[in-house]
Amino acid sequence: MDAPESSQEKDNNESVGTLVCPVCLCQQYFPVVLPCGHMFCFLCIKGIQPVFVLCAKKLSYLGAVVSSGCKCPLCRSRFPIECISKPRVCQPSNCNSFSDEELCREGASAMVWFYEGRDGWWRYDAASNCQLEDAYTKGLQSLELLIAGQIYVISLVDMEQYPKHSPTKKRRVKRDLVSSASKGIAGVRFPKIRKVQGQPTNGT
């Protein structure tokens, strides 16, 4: 049986949907609560951390540097890299899951954008998806998106994306039904959602 939420988690959860992210200054999207209690958009906290921290498995030889973790942008206290590599994202209590919420809002026949991962497809976050769909509707050949602190070039001709500073690191992209199989949205797996005012969901 899952342990009940702490009073701090409950207070933070009740604020989801009303707080502004200290990094992007917008309403928090996929909010992640750090051990220190500060809350950020998942993509914002992911984007401001050193790249090598996100690749700890590949750079295990860094030893103590990697194991020291990341730092909160507000209080500078350290938190484990698992807060980014295995995020626990809060959601409003009136939604069964953010995938269900998207399906209800968009309709199962709506078209959305995906990018390829190592073992499946990821949905783009809502803001990136809107920009992609707008560019596609206007017949543009490519566009640039700011994703997790990096500029990505998306070719709507070759249907691929790559970091602007590293054009050889390409991934396929596609436009498909919102109901198509995917791992999650913007690096957050579908089961990794913690309900507000409720027990944590499975997937931890």
Q: Which residues contact 90 (CB under 8 A, 6 or more apart)?
A: 12, 13, 16, 31, 32, 33, 39, 193, 194, 195, 196
pTM for this entry: 0.65
Does 131 share its domain with 180?
yes
Q: What would the pLDDT profile of 63-80 be if each residue is shown by its tens digit?
A: 444 455 688 889 988 888
Does 127 share its domain with 155?
yes
- Which stretches of the chain drop beneath a pLDDT of 70? 1-18, 50-69, 91-108, 191-204
Does 50 share its domain with 118?
no
Does 36 share its domain with 86?
yes
Q: Kindly state whether residue 127 falls inside one of the protein's structural domains.
A: yes
Q: Kindly state whether residue 28 falls inside one of the protein's structural domains.
A: yes
Residue 135's pLDDT is 97
Domain stops at, among 96, 118, 148? 96
φ, ψ dihedrals at 64, nearest 5°: -60, -30
Does 162 share its domain with 143?
yes
Does 92 share its domain with 133?
no
User: Which structure tokens are listed for 29?
Assistant: 């999207």
Q: What would the pLDDT profile of 77-90 be if each residue is shown by its tens digit?
A: 888 888 887 887 77
CB-based burial of residue 37 (10 Å sphere; 0-12 exposed, 13-18 middle, 19+ buried)?
A: middle
Does 87 share its domain with 111?
no
What CATH number corresponds to the domain at position 141? Answer: 3.30.720.50
Residue 171's pLDDT is 95
- Whether residue 160 contacts residue 172, with contact meaning beta carbons closer than 8 Å, is answered with yes
What is the Cβ-side half-sphere exposure of residue 127, based on CA atoms within 13 angstroms? Answer: 13
How many independent structural domains does the chain possess? 2
What are all long-range contacts of 17-21, with beta carbons under 8 Å and residues at least 24 apart? 17/92
Residue 133's pLDDT is 95
Q: Kindly state whether residue 90 falls inside one of the protein's structural domains.
A: yes
What CATH number corresponds to the domain at position 83? Answer: 3.30.40.10
Q: Which residues pair with 152 in a beta bridge?
A: 145, 163
Q: Kindly state whether residue 201 falls inside one of the protein's structural domains.
A: no
Q: For residues 83 and 90, give the distance between their C-alpha atoms in angstroms, rounded to a whole number.
A: 13
Q: Kindly state whether residue 161 falls inside one of the protein's structural domains.
A: yes
Q: Kindly state whether residue 51 falls inside one of the protein's structural domains.
A: yes
Q: Structural domain of residue 83, as residue ranges?
A: 18-96
Does 121 share its domain with 74?
no
- Whether residue 142 contacts residue 160, with contact meaning beta carbons closer than 8 Å, is answered with no
Q: Kindly state whether residue 126 falls inside one of the protein's structural domains.
A: yes
Domain stops at, among 96, 125, 140? 96
Q: Kindly state whether residue 133 falls inside one of the protein's structural domains.
A: yes
Does 25 share its domain with 75?
yes
Does 129 share its domain with 70?
no
Residue 103's pLDDT is 52
Does 125 share its domain with 160?
yes
∠ CA 121-122-123, nearest 5°, is 125
Does 89 share its domain with 121?
no
